[in-house]
């Protein structure tokens, strides 16, 4: 049986999250409660677990994607070769098509339409606790080398950096 995994509401006022790590690959077996993806909200870095065991048949997100609520993350099936279908209407009524050329295949992984800064001035990837520690110590995160996944700045990275 096919199970569509959508982004749950992780915070009461959650508008968007950033994917920081995709922990599964297509055709891999995921156990119940196994983390599928890791996301950063405005307050924390959280795992999104699998609601049940199954084979990951299609992943719709990648690192650095900005996702809105009810975004389709992936599709699980009970068996590896079970046929599956892309959803035609993901989420609720709020996820209605944008227009006549809007296709279901395009909607799940489309980032939010918020403008991104230029890559040279892009957001600094840092854990929320690392951001707080840097602020408390007067450290500019632009001067900290990240050693976490994807170059993410960790608390340990900030602790190793001297304040100006």
pLDDT in tens, 50-73: 999 999 999 999 988 888 878 899
What is d(CA 6, CA 25) in angstroms, rounded to the nearest whole number?
Answer: 16
Three-state secondary structure call for residue 78 = coil
Q: What is the mean pLDDT of residues 68-94?
A: 77
Side by side, the strands of the sheet bearing 72-77 are 3-6, 72-77, 54-59, 29-30
Give the pLDDT of residue 122.
Answer: 54
Q: Which domains does the chain have, with CATH numbers?
A: 3-95 (2.40.50.100), 124-160 (4.10.320.10)
What is d(CA 44, CA 76) in angstroms, rounded to the nearest whole number?
Answer: 26
What is d(CA 82, CA 55) in angstroms, rounded to the nearest whole number?
Answer: 9
Ranges 15-19, 37-41, 103-107, 156-160: which has the least confidence: 103-107
Q: Which two tokens stand for residue 109?
A: 């992984």
């Amino acid at each position: 049986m096919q199970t569509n995994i959508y982004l749950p509401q992780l915070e009461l006022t959650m508008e968007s999250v950033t994917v920081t790590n995709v922990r599964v690959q297509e055709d891999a077996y995921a156990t119940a409660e196994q983390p599928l993806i890791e996301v950063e909200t405005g307050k924390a870095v959280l795992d999104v677990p699998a609601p049940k065991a199954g084979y990951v048949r299609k992943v719709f997100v990648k690192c650095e994607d900005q996702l809105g609520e009810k975004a389709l993350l992936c599709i699980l099936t009970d068996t590896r070769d079970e046929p599956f279908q892309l959803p035609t209407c993901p989420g609720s009524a709020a996820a209605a098509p944008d227009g006549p050329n809007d296709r279901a295949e395009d909607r799940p992984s489309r980032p939010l339409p918020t403008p991104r800064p230029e890559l040279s001035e892009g957001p600094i990837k840092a854990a929320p606790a690392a951001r707080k520690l840097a602020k408390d110590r007067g450290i500019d995160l632009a001067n900290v080398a990240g050693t976490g996944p994807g170059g993410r700045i960790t608390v340990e990275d900030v602790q190793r950096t001297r304040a100006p």
